[in-house]
Amino acid sequence: MKKVVTFGEIMLRLATPGYQRFIQSTNLNATFGGGEANVAVSLSNYGIPTDFVTRLPKNDIAEWCISDLRKYNVGVNNILRGGDRVGIYFLETGSVARASKVVYDRADSAIAEIKPGMVNWKEVLKDAQWFHWTGITPALSQGAADACLEAIKVANEMGVTVSTDLNYRKNLWKYGKTASEVMPPLVEGCDIILGNEEDAEKVFGIKPEGFDVAHTGGEVNAAEFESVCTQMMKKFPRAKKVIITLRGSINANHNTWGGVLYSDKLYQSKRYDITHIVDRVGGGDSFMGGLIYGLITYPTDDSKALEFAVAASCLKHTIYGDFNLVTVTEVENLMKGDGSGRVSR
């Protein structure tokens, strides 16, 4: 089977234990995570060969990171070495009415200093069927945006499917360009576009009428997003499918979760009620990993691919850390309605 290549930043994640606030915590739990790496780990768990491309310095923290990726069978042979530091993010997990908080310490990370020409994309993609990137990567620096565009163009020339998760992060766009300026040329080369309830609005000004992400109350009308999907496909005619994740937030521990996929028509997924969230960071990435697996495995069944993605990401909310450490069997069992949580003996 041909591999899936993902490209972006992986960071050291330092999180307060349980629901502690930064100010009261005396220690932090260390793991690794990042949008494109999270997708690669999901796919590797599903048995699909992966290759994660990034840039890391030559130090012990980077070696720890690479070792962690190897543990999950993610390909690391095309990771560039250079620069001075691994980016860090700090996480304070919220509870009930108190939202989670993320603080970034990723300025001047090794990947932010990447430039076009550093990666031999023709070599990296020669045995690939899929290339995935997110809107986080071009937000890091002009060089990262240019390298990402370079990869997309090579993938298009080689007939490799290209997907993106728009992943708008307002706190990252600090190098003088806006997402609205940088993103369109990159998204133009994409076959599959994923976003959440507000990504299309924040980046492209496309939104469903009357929708307010801050006041969903757990209720999100999937049909409202058909117009968002059709507008996105009109703006980016290469796109064959547009997918939107739908999160209804009752509180920090209780969300509803589903999605829609638009191709020849609008497909709506089952809606899950997630009442005791363990960790929602990486939820969108777990959806993307499930979606790529679904579209590869069920190429003629968009509905089943969507249901796999939603079920996979539903399970991710029960797992600590960025990575979605579930199997295909576990996802398929949930798709069939087995959400009882009974002990497996």
Residue 36 lies in a domain: yes
Sign of CA pseudo-dihedral 335, 304, 167, 234: negative
Residue 79 lies in a domain: yes
Residue 344 lies in a domain: no
**Which pTM value belongs to this model?**
0.94
Please work out, in degrees rounded to the nearest 5, the angle formed at the alpha carbon of residue 285 by the alpha carbons of 50 and 339: 105
Half-sphere exposure of 260 (CA within 13 A, CB side): 21
Beta bridge partners of 90: 14, 103
Residue 202 lies in a domain: yes
Give me the CATH number covering residue 144.
Answer: 3.40.1190.20
Domain that residue 190 falls in: 3-335
Q: How many domains does the chain have?
A: 1
Point out the residues of the chain with pLDDT beneath 70: 209-220, 340-345
Sign of CA pseudo-dihedral 291, 294, 296, 300: negative
- Contact predicate 84/111, CB 8 Å: no
Residue 345 lies in a domain: no
At 221, list the tokens: 């009308």
Number of C-beta neighbours around residue 300 at 10 A: 6
- Report the C-alpha gap between 248 and 283 in whole angstroms: 13
pLDDT value at residue 205? 92
SS3 label, residue 112? helix
Residue 341 lies in a domain: no
pLDDT value at residue 225? 85
Beta bridge partners of 32: 12
pLDDT value at residue 218? 57
- Contact predicate 245/261, CB 8 Å: no
- Could you tell me which of 79, 32, 83, 76 has the C-alpha nearest to residue 54? 79
**Which stretches of 72-141 are DSSP H helices?**
121-124, 137-140
- Report the C-alpha gap between 282 and 321 in whole angstroms: 8
- Could you tell me which of 149, 150, 160, 75 has the C-alpha nearest to residue 125? 160
pLDDT value at residue 208? 78
* Per-residue CA distances from 277 to 210, 217, 251 (Å): 28, 16, 10
Count of helix runs (H) and strand runs (E) in the chain: 11, 15
Half-sphere exposure of 288 (CA within 13 A, CB side): 31
pLDDT value at residue 38? 98
Q: In the predicted model, what is the mean pLDDT of the chain?
A: 94
For 17-55, the pLDDT digits (tens) are 999 999 999 999 999 999 999 999 999 999 999 999 999
Residue 343 lies in a domain: no
pLDDT value at residue 101? 94
Contact residues for 257 (Cβ-Cβ < 8 A; gap 6+): 245, 246, 247, 248, 271, 272, 274, 283, 310, 313, 314, 317
Residue 340 lies in a domain: no
pLDDT value at residue 212? 60
Q: β-pairing, 266-268 with 272-274? A: unpaired
pLDDT value at residue 22? 97
- Give backbone dihedrals phi and psi of 105, rounded to 5 degrees, phi first: -135, 75
